[in-house]
């Protein structure tokens, strides 16, 4: 089959890691008889440099015209990059937020699991990791504090800033449905995370999630307060299957979950609207400090491409092939520097490889699997 992929390479390490994901997709194409065409789309700092804004209307149209979008990362060093001297609505991140809103990408799925091969990189104690963990955060992505009314003004001569957190029941219902349907494909457990002891928006969240749960009798639903969830993620991550939460809580908890899994360089993510369309991107940022050195870890982006195959293109076998290829290459001891054991005594049996070599190894393993 033919698939048209919009490609947002972005800034920092974005272009390097996206190149490796394309390499792997091309290997999938060759091995399984598909054709992927790629259309570059400007977003982030590179778009600011080329057009003056982080996302043009043309770029939005290009994304809308694609079967799915694969993204690297956007943004630069907030302390030194001239992009961060611009007003907030013209900075790189504003492009991403605008794209999410324009494409109605309200559901953000961020898996976090322990790679057996990288158990040692997990910062938790062995007795806490136990049998390992495999969770997925379903984060609401187009509402809440991110998109509420905000303003900064002087009140009685004193500067005052306001952000507002609004959710209506329809926004909560549609993300809850996504979480429950993903849970049906997994271990059938949803933990809905809120701050219902304080916030009205959370109390409505809880009520609507309870209603949605009635349509999924096989799924067990728990509620957890967000502060407790932050604690439980490091205390016993194995208790979670699907965590359902609002935008800001999900932003924070997904960073925590990725760290707990040992390497943020390994974790993929996907954002969905109500169709099969999706935006696929690694969970990590643009790492401007290591950009252009061919040392970044492309695995999160490659696994994001695997999610694209699975969720947007319905190519499960091909997605499995990519995920297995990653495991095979890790098993053989190949590591980018971020996942290389740090202790000298532990380094035997591992081969340090560059970003491009890691991509080639995984592409070769995909071809060998067909």
Catalytic residues: 146, 195, 227, 251, 255
Q: State the nearest-atom distance from the C-beta of 235 to Mg ion, in Å.
A: 22
Residue 318 interacts with, from ligand IPM, Mg ion, none (CB under 5-8 Å by kind): none
Helix H, strand E, coil C: the string for 37-86 is EEEECCCCHHHHHHHCCCCCHHHHHHHHCCCEEEEEECCCCCCCCHHHHC
Residue 93 interacts with, from ligand IPM, Mg ion, none (CB under 5-8 Å by kind): ligand IPM
93 vs 323, beta carbon nearer ligand IPM = 93
Residue 252 near residue 277 (C-beta atoms within 8 A):
no
Short-list 94, 23, 20, CA closest to 52:
94
By CB under 5 A, what part of segment 186-205 binds Mg ion? none
By CB under 6 A, what part of segment 70-99 binds ligand IPM? 93, 96-97
97 vs 118, beta carbon nearer ligand IPM = 97
259 vs 337, beta carbon nearer Mg ion = 259
98 vs 335, beta carbon nearer ligand IPM = 98
By CB under 6 A, what part of segment 246-275 binds ligand IPM? 251
Starting from the edge strand earliest in sequence, which strands make up the sheet with 189-194, in order? Answer: 35-40, 2-10, 68-73, 278-282, 268-272, 107-113, 134-140, 242-245, 189-194, 220-225
Residue 32: both structure tokens together: 């399984």
Binning the chain into helix, strand and coil, the percentages to the nearest 5 are 50, 20, 30
Q: With contacts defined by CB under 6 A, how many residues of the chain interact with ligand IPM?
A: 4
147 vs 350, beta carbon nearer ligand IPM = 147
In the chain, which ranges are E strands? 2-10, 35-40, 68-73, 107-113, 134-140, 150-155, 158-163, 189-194, 220-225, 242-245, 268-272, 278-282, 334-335, 351-352
Specify the stretch interacting with Mg ion by CB under 5 A; choose among 7-15, 230-238, 244-252, 279-287: 244-252
Q: State the nearest-atom distance from the C-beta of 91 to ligand IPM, in Å.
A: 9
Specify the stretch interacting with Mg ion by CB under 5 A; choose among 153-161, 184-192, 219-227, 249-257: 249-257
Taking CB under 5 A as the criterion, the residue among 251, 261, 361, 369 binding Mg ion is 251
3-state secondary structure of 8: strand
Q: State the nearest-atom distance from the C-beta of 249 to ligand IPM, in Å.
A: 11
Q: Which residue is nearest to ligand IPM (CB)?
A: 93
Residue 96 interacts with, from Mg ion, ligand IPM, none (CB under 5-8 Å by kind): ligand IPM
3-state secondary structure of 297: coil
Instruction: Tell me which residues touch Mg ion (CB under 5 A).
Output: 251
Query: Given the rule CB under 6 A, which residues bind ligand IPM?
Result: 93, 96-97, 251
């Amino acid at each position: 089959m033919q698939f048209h992929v919009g490609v947002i390479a972005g800034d920092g390490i974005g272009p390097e890691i996206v190149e490796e994901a394309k390499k792997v997709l091309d290997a999938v194409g060759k091995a399984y008889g598909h054709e992927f065409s790629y259309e570059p789309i400007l977003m982030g700092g590179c778009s600011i440099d080329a057009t003056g804004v982080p996302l043009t209307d043309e770029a939005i149209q290009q994304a809308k015209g694609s079967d799915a979008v694969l993204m690297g990362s956007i943004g630069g060093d907030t302390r030194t990059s001239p992009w961060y001297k611009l007003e907030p609505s013209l900075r790189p991140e504003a492009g991403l937020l605008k794209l999410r809103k324009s494409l109605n990408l309200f559901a953000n799925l961020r898996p976090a699991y322990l790679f057996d091969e990288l158990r040692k990189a997990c910062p938790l104690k062995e007795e806490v990791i136990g049998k390992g963990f495999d969770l997925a955060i379903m984060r609401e992505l187009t509402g809440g504090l991110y998109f509420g009314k905000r303003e900064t003004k002087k009140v009685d001569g004193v500067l005052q800033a306001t952000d507002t957190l609004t959710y209506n029941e329809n926004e909560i219902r549609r993300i809850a449905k996504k979480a429950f349907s993903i849970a049906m494909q997994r271990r059938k457990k949803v933990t809905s995370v809120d701050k219902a002891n304080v916030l009205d928006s959370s109390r409505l969240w809880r009520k609507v999630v309870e209603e949605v749960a009635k349509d999924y009798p096989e799924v067990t639903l728990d509620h957890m307060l967000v502060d407790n969830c932050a604690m439980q993620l490091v205390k016993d991550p194995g208790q979670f299957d699907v965590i359902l939460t609002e935008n800001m809580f999900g932003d924070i908890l997904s960073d925590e979950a990725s760290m707990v899994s040992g390497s943020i360089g390994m974790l993929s993510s996907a954002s969905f609207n109500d169709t099969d369309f999706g935006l696929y991107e690694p969970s990590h940022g643009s790492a401007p400090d290591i950009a252009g050195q061919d040392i970044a870890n492309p695995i999160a982006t490659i696994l994001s491409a695997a999610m694209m195959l699975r969720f947007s293109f319905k190519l499960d076998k091909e997605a499995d092939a990519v995920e297995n290829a990653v495991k095979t290459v890790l098993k053989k001891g190949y590591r980018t520097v971020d996942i290389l054991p740090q202790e000298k005594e532990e380094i035997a049996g591992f081969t340090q490889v560059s970003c491009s070599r890691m991509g080639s190894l995984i592409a070769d393993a995909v071809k060998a699997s067909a």
